[in-house]
Amino acid sequence: MPEDVASESPAAAADPARVEPAAGASDADWEATFRLARALEENANRVLVGKPDAVRLALTALLADGHLLIEDVPGVGKTLLARALAKSLSVTFRRIQFTPDLLPADVTGCNVFDPRAVTFEFRPGPVLTNILLADEINRATPRTQSALLECMEERQVTVDGTTHRIEAPFFVVGTENSIEQQGTFPLPEAQLDRFALCIEIGYPASDDAIRILAEQQHRQAIDEVEPVASGADLVAAQASVRSVHVDDDLRRYVIALIEATREHGDVLLGASPRASLVLLRTAQAAAVLAGERFCTPQHVQTVAHAALEHRIIIRPKSRLTGVTAARVVDQIVAQIPVPVGRDS
């Protein structure tokens, strides 16, 4: 059931609407965004030991104003990563443990009759927060899963015909246990498409595992994480990311990759137009995390697997021969010519 994990108020300056791109970020804006990104990355890497690539992709989704899905086996740090990002920001954070008996109203909230005022009062659900951890999201029924569709895309909740805006920033981290299938409901394609990136964390290397045992013998690293930015700082950073320079040739490269997923012989359903927007915006965020002021094909390739694999449906016959979405993305990236120009 919904669990209120933290209740710090977001900065009042945070715009309740979706993040809008700046008209052109100044050097000061870019520097502030880069410093914020590095501070968040440092915090998360202290908590999730030995997984810098997973941390950077999670931050990429956050800075791109998207949502993140983490699919992996139990105990590798899925929830820990989400908590580390939330504790690094002075924003509201709530966690929902998805179960088969969870109802849509448990997520969105509902209207409750007040007999003294003889009127209905809206009781907001845990989704009206800044960072939401949807833990084991595939354990809820499709009806409850669909309650997140409007929230994740339109950043609003509609209850009994009344719309309630979700204040920015709004970041959903969904987790799935990739091993247990009994009693679960696979996310439909429409729901998967709402997640900007889908990542795995994986087991730590031996040296990292030993470090984890040593560091957590007496304390938990997550307990020592302090906020490094406010909600308003994050909203400003997300707008600054949208202003990272993108050349026309790079836009054509992104579209070529997307169209190649639809034309591939082993693919039943390729990436959507939303995927092209996600691919470009997350590449812009990847550029900022790499310390670059402009986006290149290498930044697009950095996020290609996390942005496209969960959006590609492989033909059943091809699956039987061992074809995977990861292999298809590898082939497409290798086949599509990389633009070479002034900004690439």
Q: Tell me: the pLDDT tens digits for 164-190?
A: 999 999 999 999 987 777 778 888 888
CA gap 149, 143 in Å, rounded? 10
Is the pLDDT at 233 greater than 80? The verdict is: yes
Q: What is the CATH number of the domain that holds 65?
A: 3.40.50.300
Same domain for 234 and 326?
no
Same domain for 87 and 125?
yes
Residue 280 domain boundaries:
245-344
Same domain for 296 and 219?
no
- Long-range contact list for 153-158, CB < 8 A, 24+ apart? 153/194, 155/17, 155/18, 157/108, 157/109, 157/124, 157/125, 157/127, 157/128
> What is the percentage of the chain residues whose pLDDT exceeds 70?
92
Same domain for 232 and 104?
yes
Same domain for 141 and 268?
no
Strand pairing class (156-159; 93-97) = unpaired
Which phi and psi (to 5°) does residue 247 adopt? -80, 155
Same domain for 233 and 264?
no
pLDDT of residue 28: 84
Same domain for 313 and 339?
yes
Q: Where does a domain end: 217, 243, 269? A: 243
Q: How confident is the model at residue 149 (pLDDT cuts 50, 70, 90)?
A: confident
Q: What is the CATH number of the domain that holds 266?
A: 1.10.8.80
Strand pairing class (68-72; 171-177) = parallel
pLDDT in tens, 7-59: 343 333 334 334 444 445 577 888 999 999 999 999 999 999 999 999 999 99
Same domain for 127 and 170?
yes
> What is the percentage of the chain residues whose pLDDT exceeds 90?
74
Q: Looking at residues 159-164, what average pLDDT do you find?
A: 88
Q: Where does a domain end: 216, 243, 270? A: 243
Q: Can you read off the two tokens belonging to residue 287? A: 């550029």
CA distances from 219 to 50, 264, 268 (A): 18, 50, 49
pLDDT of residue 109: 92
Mean pLDDT for all residues in the chain? 89
pLDDT of residue 25: 58
pLDDT of residue 125: 92
pLDDT in tens, 62-80: 999 999 999 998 889 999 9
pLDDT of residue 342: 52
pLDDT in tens, 194-218: 999 999 999 999 999 999 999 888 8
pLDDT in tens, 100-121: 999 999 999 998 988 888 888 8
Q: Where does a domain end: 243, 262, 283? A: 243
pLDDT of residue 306: 98
Same domain for 196 and 292?
no
pLDDT of residue 4: 46
Q: How many CB atoms lie within 10 A of CB 255?
A: 14
Give the chain's largest Cα–Cα span. Answer: 70
Is the pLDDT at 86 greater than 50? The verdict is: yes
Same domain for 10 and 95?
yes
Number of folded domains in the chain? 2
CA distances from 7 to 87, 130, 183, 210, 285 (A): 11, 10, 32, 34, 28
Q: Looking at residues 83-88, what average pLDDT do you find?
A: 94
Same domain for 227 and 271?
no
Same domain for 156 and 285?
no
